[in-house]
Structure 1
Amino acid sequence: MPTKITKNIQISLLLVATLGVMSGITVVSSLPLISHTFSDIPNIEFLSKLMLTIPSIIIALFAPFAGHIVDRWGRLKPLYIGILLFVLGGSSGFYLHDFYSILVGRALLGFAVALIMTSSTALIGDYFEEKARHKFMSKQGLAVALGGILFITSGGLLAQMHWSYPFAIYFIPLLFLPFLLKSLYEPEKHKHSDDPELETKLLPVYITAFFVMVLFYMLPTQLPYLIVNTLGGKPQTIGFVIATAMMFNALTSMQYAKIKARLSYMQIYAATFMLFSIGLFFISQASNITGLFFATTPIGMAFGLLFVNTNAWFLSQVPPRKRGKASGILTSSFFLGQFSSPLLFEPIVSSYGIQGLFLLISVVSIVVSLVLFVKSRI
């Protein structure tokens, strides 16, 4: 692959990677405002969280099918169709002001992200060999984190003006679509062959991806209500707290290739769950907004490694001929976890409050970390 093309390809894939984080956290700061605006709708506080999770369940259901499309049609056509649907569905909240119509737009966003994430994951596997892939995925983790900082901060500032303004951010992919069309090329197609043992081999990866996202989405679905309703913060505060965590996410993920050269996948997981537990404990004990910022360092560092490590582990296991289908199932696992997060945690929040939830999961995380550490030593 020529060096000049490689640079453009990397930039293109990094831009595409930011769409995954844009799909969710961009409108996080609007959630409390949406629940106030549509307060006449029963259970609106819970329903407003579906703005984040409706795309997730659509992605979870559609992504395996998207994987078959990517294997059959190639990587680029589904990618470009997905980007156009992403813009249309994601921006719907900007020009539609009926709550249920916006939820339909969020569902369309889910179809789009399924195509985008499945195609882009397969492309990364096609374009890069393992060592080069680890280096690229360090850059990808950095790009996702920086994108998260930009989108969550911008969304928070725009939400201050009106709850619908953050939805305008979804028009951004139209700006870099021409560059993608110019830079990316369709990889060589691989002959399909059945491999029943592969699905069993990948099952631990899929389960890990599910729980990683269940934990990650505690932040955008629970923190806004803790900050605004319990600690008396403003909508832009939500953006600043999560963006600070994303900054540490960026700093850590860019070191992934160096860390992976020294540690196994399981050892990296053990370290990240330890960091995550520490951060959750800080949140559970916070009595003011300042206390939340102490949690951003370990939580950001943990998620800076969790996502990159999961994707790298996955791609190390999958042969080229199965990347489309397997990438679809991985995407489904991630976003099924995203959808499930508020549903799984709602009974705990109802009984013990949001900070009680964070304390409980902190204890669970430290146990998981110790188990993984012992297993990695054995």
Structure 2
Amino acid sequence: MHPSTPARSPKATLATYLLLLINCLAPMAAIVIAPSLPQMQAHFADVPNVEFLVPVALTIPGLLVALLSPVVGILADRFGRKPMLIWAIVVYGILGILPMFLDSLYTIIASRIALGCAEAVIVTISTTLIGDYYSGAQRRKYLALQTTFASASAILFFMIGGALGEFGWRVPYIVYAVPLLMAVFSQLLLWEPKASDMARAQEEEACSGAQVFRPGLLLGICLITFVGAVVFMVLQIQLAYLLAGVGEHSPRTAGSIASACSVMIVLGTLAVHLLTRLGLRVPHCLALAFGLIATSFLLIPGVPDSGGMLWVALINGLGCGLLLPTLAIWNMRELPWLRRGLGTGMWYGSYCLGMFLSPILVVAITKTSGDLATTVGWLGGCLIPIAVAAFFASLCRRRPRKPCDVRIVANSLEDA
């Protein structure tokens, strides 16, 4: 725990879990309204290109997060975290509720664009604050739990959105009132890290390997994160089409297999903390994650039926669950405090951009491969070199720790 974090107390614990819940607003932006999209499309049937515009209303916030997160990170490093986060949550809640009262599809899309701007602030700063508040094993734990919360909340939001959608396509937007309550608790529970404390924490972290901002490494992590986000979304989006390719056209079957995959994603995120506690490092986890995803993709061209697709989905879900928290932990570990907002923003931007472009890339490659299952198999082959590289990196010994500076030791003794 960092010097800027109050001694473990009920307030500190509540603040941490509040941040984990705040990060769940990202999946809520899309998932809670997804079940009602057909009703929404029917309501605006007279609008030209409605079949294109309604899905855009769902996905456009994610694109804004991809584009704006790095900028948000820079602003958070310069002007502070807490005020930006609280105002963003308030704006997010207000904009989220607006479609309940808007009668123009174009106005709804405009409100969703503005919502994406607020979402970029929320996901970037909530993650940055976890990095500010904690270090070492505690930071790894909560970054992994962040993905666990987001993955589990996605299942819950889909159920809530479906239930509320029974009363009309506008009703699910009422869920956006919840962030307004979160803003109140954020004002009460969260705190702004002090520059002096964070500088001190930075020096102490240097004892276990000095953190120097390395732009090249950050770009490399962002590139791998982009690839990871692309492959993470492949089965999430293409599962129903892949099932149709093996003669299974039942939406219920597709939903059941997708739910099983989501459960494995949650289990995978929980496994990350356990694996790190057992001594496995980032390269080990990346090799395992990319290896599992590659295996699932390579199996798909030979899957004969829905039963085989279920096993593929389980393997894929476990790999995806391992992947994202590992990448988040790796990125946060390499960021000095003065660049933590920037680095977190770039990481989130890469992640969201990969998710947004995933279906576009799959469609483009399928025009060459001629078949979706073949495309997925090709993607699996492309992941093999990444898994192998991570495996060989895991064989290298960890860099020796640098000795603490005498001044840091003296400060520690004074505090004792």
What's the TM-score once normalised by structure 1's chain length? Answer: 0.85
- Residue 25 of structure 1, CA deviation: 3.3
- Residue 204 of structure 1, CA deviation: 1.2
Give 1:297's aligned residue: 314
Distance 1:52 1:175, change over 3 A: same
CA RMSD of aligned residues (A): 3.3
Give 2:411's aligned residue: none
- Map 1:137-286; keep pairs closer than 5 Å: 137-159=143-165, 162-189=168-195, 198-223=214-239, 231-234=248-251, 240-261=256-277, 262-281=279-298
Distance 1:374 1:173, change over 3 A: same
Aligned partner of residue 113 in structure 1, secondary structure: helix
- Map 1:1-378; keep pairs closer than 5 Å: 1-4=6-9, 5-31=11-37, 47-96=53-102, 98-159=104-165, 162-189=168-195, 198-223=214-239, 231-234=248-251, 240-261=256-277, 262-281=279-298, 292-350=309-367, 352-377=370-395
AA paired with 2:231? L
**Does the 8 A contact of 1:318 with 1:326 survive in 2?**
yes
Aligned partner of residue 192 in structure 2, secondary structure: coil
**Does the 8 A contact of 2:289 with 2:320 survive in 1?**
yes
* 5+ residue gaps, structure 2: 1-5, 200-210, 397-416
- Residue 296 of structure 1, CA deviation: 3.2
AA paired with 1:14? L
AA paired with 2:144? S
Q: Pick which of 319-328 and 46-55 moved more.
A: 46-55
- Residue 364 of structure 1, CA deviation: 2.4
**Does the 8 A contact of 1:274 with 1:369 survive in 2?**
yes
**Does the 8 A contact of 1:28 with 1:224 survive in 2?**
no
- Residue 129 of structure 1, CA deviation: 1.5
Q: Pick which of 284-293 and 112-121 moved more.
A: 284-293
Aligned partner of residue 194 in structure 2, secondary structure: coil
AA paired with 1:50? V
AA paired with 2:126? S
Distance 1:317 1:154, change over 3 A: same
Larger-gyration structure (1/2)? 2
- Residue 35 of structure 1, CA deviation: 5.7
Distance 1:83 1:306, change over 3 A: same
Aligned pair count reads 375
Determine the C-alpha separation between the residues in 2 that align with 1:346 and 1:103.
24
State the Cα deviation string for residues 97-142 of structure 1 (Å, max 9, x = none): 5433332222112101110112112211110011211122233232
- Residue 327 of structure 1, CA deviation: 1.7
Identity, % of aligned positions: 28
- Residue 161 of structure 1, CA deviation: 5.7
* 5+ residue gaps, structure 1: none
- Residue 65 of structure 1, CA deviation: 1.8
